[in-house]
Amino acid sequence: MDHFIYGRRFAEVDEVTAVVHDFIRSKPTKFYGDITHSVHEKRKKLIGNNVNFFVKVPEKCIIGEEGRGFFYQMLQFQDERLVAAAVLLEPLQRCISLTADYARDRKIFGSTVLEQQTVQFTLAELQSELEAVRALLYRAVLSRLHGDDVTLLASMAKLKAGRLARVVTDSCLQFWGGNGFTWDNPVCRMHRDLRLHSVGAGADEVMLSIICKYMGIAPPKPRF
């Protein structure tokens, strides 16, 4: 099925407010059975990813127990954050590799872009940072498989992967020059799309708050 529905009932109406994610690219949004469309939000970044809020669905389409949607979301957040970090490894590696190949072929003022030491050092630094995030993620996943609480490691991995995505895509885009700003350039698209990973599944600031809590340095919440 193309959609995932998380819903709760409004007390005044016999309907459900739901969030529907349509991940089918290059297709119009589809709704099934009694589901009706209410509001459509156009995303600025993710091409072909439609997210629809406030659609009405019948009670029979509720997934799980009514009123427990937020609880279900919290239960799966650590796995989602591990996945959010994991799915960045390949595109970031591709971003670095594509940039190295382009810089190797692109000639300016009698030499290639890759012959400039600053380009070499930048790509080497990015590759090193990527491997560090990969090692952190592997450690977190191994702990998860052992049944340990991975809230701290998952938050760290998600934080560092999301921030690295911004650094890698921005740094690599610089070496493509004006060509890097063309709409169909793969690095340009990664620069747009991967920015989401510092926001989705918990923003960087949320990850930092969790890390502070586990370190025991977060201030106590005021009691009223």
Using one digit for the tens of pLDDT, what is the confidence trace for 158-184? 999 999 999 999 999 999 999 999 999
pLDDT digits (tens, 9 = 90+) for 179-207: 999 999 999 999 999 999 999 999 999 99
CA 222 to chain centre: 32
- Residues with catalytic annotation? 80
Residue spans of the domains in the chain: they are: 82-212
Pick left, alpha or beta for residue 126 (phi over 0 → left; psi -120 to 50 → alpha; otherwise beta): alpha
Distance, in Å, from the CA atom of 149 to the CA atom of 152, rounded to the nearest integer, reads: 8
More confident residue, 49 or 19: 49
**What integer pLDDT is reported at residue 69 of this predicted model?**
79
User: Is 79 in contact with 71 (CB distance < 8 Å)?
Assistant: no
pTM of the shown model? 0.74
Instruction: Give 53's pLDDT tier (boundaries 50, 70, 90).
Output: low
CATH number of 82-212: 1.20.140.10
Q: Does the structure show a pLDDT above 80 at 58?
A: no
pLDDT digits (tens, 9 = 90+) for 103-156: 999 999 999 999 999 999 999 999 999 999 999 999 999 999 999 999 999 999
Q: Does the structure show a pLDDT above 90 at 102?
A: yes
The token pair that represents 60 in the structure block: 């029979």
Q: Does the structure show a pLDDT above 90 at 35?
A: no
More confident residue, 41 or 214: 214
Q: Does the structure show a pLDDT above 90 at 82?
A: yes
Strands (E), 50-117: 50-57, 107-108, 111-112
